[in-house]
Amino acid sequence: QVIHRLPMPNLKDELHCAGWGPACGCFDSGAAAKRTKLVLPCLISSRIYVVDVGSQCRAPRICKMIEPVDVFWKCNKGYLSVTHPLPNGDVLVANMGDAAGHGKGGFVVLDGETFELKGNWENECEAPPTGHDFWYQARHNVLVSSAGMVPRVAGRGFNPDDLKKGVFGRRLNVWNLSCRSLTQCFDLGEDSLPLTVRFLHSPEAAEGYVSCALSGAIFRFYKSCEAS
């Protein structure tokens, strides 16, 4: 049963993935964690909506919008895909390209309280060629991100010839979470297109999986005894 509908005020946004803002009280052991905000990045428009689901849980409302021009000018990023809250309370949003639709991976950061756009998460020189999804394990100080595709080319539809042109990503990227630095890259093959990344559902787990859209393969990644 549908209990409420929240229309978006703009066309051609392409809402892709919704993610929670930081949980209120998550840094205070005496307080119960309560999530009250949803962050919705837009794949086509590069707009970001913040939805209040705490004031009226059965009638959510938009409480903030970050316009595409702000993302373009402040971060030179666009085509926003996946979002997760960080351990420090900020919100991380992955992107697939730059403002012009060329391939450019990486992340933009939102303030966890005000949801103001803070800027890029990674160093400019370490931005991957493409990006899509990510997940992290704070206790192992690691973040793993997947490749995605070049938006302005992939948006025209699938062309097998694009496999050799680098339109479809093939890398799995490993980051130092606290230093925000790229430490390892794995090439999963020309026809892979790794997208969804998940660690095991345990904060102690040092292994996870990534699924590939083109090849249909699922790769397991794990932390070795050499800590790589």
Q: What is the pLDDT of residue 225?
A: 77
- Three-state DSSP at 191 gives coil
CA distance linking residue 149 with residue 166, whole number of Å:
8
CA distance linking residue 117 with residue 151, whole number of Å:
22
**Strand 218-222 relative to strand 207-212, pairing:** antiparallel
Burial (CB count within 10 angstroms: exposed 0-12, middle 13-18, buried 19+), residue 62 = middle
pTM, two decimals, is 0.92
Tokens describing residue 204: 């102690």
Q: What is the pLDDT of residue 195?
A: 94
* Backbone conformation region of residue 26, classed left if phi is above 0, alpha if psi is from -120 to 50, else beta: alpha
Do 119 and 98 contact (CB within 8 A), yes or no? no
Q: What is the per-residue pLDDT across 141-186, written as a single tens digit (0 to 9) for each?
A: 999 999 989 999 887 888 888 888 888 899 999 999 999 999 999 9
Tokens describing residue 77: 């990023």
Listing DSSP states for 80-94 in one string gives EEEEEE-TTS-EEEE
Q: What is the pLDDT of residue 164?
A: 81
Q: What is the pLDDT of residue 25?
A: 44
Using pLDDT thresholds of 50, 70 and 90, give the confidence band for residue 31: low
CA 199 to chain centre: 14
Q: What is the per-residue pLDDT across 95-152, written as a single tens digit (0 to 9) for each?
A: 999 999 999 999 999 999 999 999 999 998 999 999 999 999 999 999 999 998 999 9
CA distance linking residue 218 with residue 66, whole number of Å:
35
Q: What is the per-residue pLDDT across 41-65, written as a single tens digit (0 to 9) for each?
A: 999 999 999 999 999 999 999 999 9
CA distance linking residue 152 with residue 218, whole number of Å:
27
The arithmetic mean of pLDDT across residues 23-42, rounded, is: 72
Q: What is the pLDDT of residue 24?
A: 54
